[in-house]
Chain A
Amino acid sequence: MISRNSKSFSLSCRVNGSELEREIPSSRSLLDFIREDLGLKGTKEGCGEGECGACMVLVDGLAVNSCLMMAVQLQGKELVTIEGIKGKDGGLHSLQKTFLAEGAVQCGFCTPGLIIASEALLRRKPDATLEDIKLELTGNLCRCTGYEKVLSAVEKARRK
């Protein structure tokens, strides 16, 4: 039985393709771990209670709200943040390109979460329908673009 009977925990995981070992406070949220400990500021804090999707990341390929997870739950798993979403050539990912091309970004605060959620869907279902995309993005709030351009961007990325 592994017990960390102290205020810290020895975390071992993969972050954006690299192995990582770090002593962290047991009470650290995954969101704080990403932003404050790892300095990866692309993941945003919005509502802090799992409703807006701005803090979304991939854990073992599944989209999750990092504000609702503890960092210790990452033990032995793979984390991908928006900084780890790249094209095959190391440049922009196809979703990032279509978001730009469609004008699906306004203030940009929700965009990392939208890209992460869309990426999770397209990995799982490359032929996702518009209905699938709408369902997948119900956990992402955008107060600027009105979603039409976002949906269009994900549809176009699907074809690439």
Chain B
Amino acid sequence: MIVRTLLAAIVAGLIAGVFMTGAQELRVVPLILHAEEFEGEAPAAGEQPAAQPGTADPAAANHEQHSSLKAVSPIGALLDALSPITPAYAHEGEHEEGGIMFGMSRFSGTLIANLVTGSGFALLLAGVSLVIGYPITLRNGALWGACGWLAVHMLPAIGLPPELPGFPAAELGDRQVWWLATVALSAVGLYLLVLREEIVAKIIGLVLIAAPHVYGAPQPSDISSNVPAVLGAEFAVVALATTLAFWIVLGVVSGFINDRFAKA
């Protein structure tokens, strides 16, 4: 029965992942592509004097830098993505240096990443539900999803808003650690706040949720960017809105599958 429970979560995640891909292609990806046009105009190309847009080799060099995450400037390091030519086309066959898996198109890569991410979040949601002993049902699925969204997207976004390519940002490792810690603390905090009756637990929950923001997210020292602020504002709203829709779909579908099949 363990396998059936896990399969139920994976199916829900795949469905939500397909849904998310549609939502992304409609609203999010156009903004990413738009931002990458500005990213290409970055003046911070000092460390890459050989960069000549349109030639293959410098693009590959930049690409490696972009991917190995050692770049000093996130703007200058992202030149590989400056044109409508995606890394999939620019680096076909050079898998070791990055590029999209199996030479797939950019869309296929996004679809697969969404399916994997959807299954992953579905399993995490099911895992939390199983460990704390509160089943996900059709009735409470949307609330489960909303809490997942709060913990994974909304609360971390207070410190690290969803960023477009070319946005200034602090060191990647620091941000990932802060992000992971915030997700974990927010999840535990939400559990204490929502599902525990004791007033002390609720207060501790609020403290846990607030703690990473009091500590503060890693911020870039230089916040100048070529990407227009309007794009960034639109992107933050669209990213949070699509992920909210994703989580609600994920919660409701998980609940539906649990009600119909997993407990049969």
A and B form one complex: no
Which residues in B have some Cβ–Cβ distance to A below 8 Å?
A: none
Chain A residues at the B interface, C-beta cutoff of 8 Å: none
